[in-house]
Homo-oligomer: A and B are copies of this chain.
Amino acid sequence: MNFTKRQEEIINVSINIIAEMGIQNLTIKNISKAIGISEPAIYRHFESKMDILLAILSYFKKSNSIVLETPNLENENTIQQIGSIYSNHFKQFKKNHALASVIFSEDIFKNDKRLSKKVASIMQSNNIVISEIIETGQENNEIRNDIPVDELALIIMGALRLIVKKWRMANFSFDLEKEGTNLWNSIEKTISKK
């Protein structure tokens, strides 16, 4: 999972291509053209196109880990932790629009078993992180108890995903961090134990 500079370049360029032109336009030709090297040169760095796609997913996993697991280290309450997860997402996406355009588009990787398996496992582990925070929150009487963990997770992550989708469909034209924080404040109202 440790990529060379060129490999990282290929991964980034690939995410950009998917974000801007769709997975159908992620071709070796387009990748190499974007980087400015020849097509065979790509194969010095990845054995096959499939490996590039797997590398993209690995990059997503790493990205998610950073965004999701950072708050645990700090001494916040659970509501604050989820708030941090929200704002960490927004900060990351602000820096990297392409990532926002691809990371929640799991269907892109549906055309192959290995890919969709990896996608599923990433989603699964993300879910676990969120669920554990919520569970703790309910135990600590910070999060309301009358709604099951899974459903709270759906509400929290569903809204996050959808606002990000709207943001990129609006061509990143509104301030995701501001609107997203407002959204989070509203969700906070609905899920926190008053």
Contact = CB atoms under 8 A, between A and B. Distances in A.
Given A24-B24, A107-B108, A159 B169 contact: no
A-side interface mostly: helix
Identical chains in the assembly: 4
Nearest to A109: B22
Interface stretch (A82-90, A132-140, A143-151): A143-151
A93 to B, nearest CB: 15
Contacts of A183: 151, 154
Interface of A: 21-25, 101, 105-112, 119-120, 123, 146-148, 151-152, 154-155, 157-163, 165-166, 169, 182-183, 186-187, 189-191
A87 to B, nearest CB: 16
Contacts of A25: 111
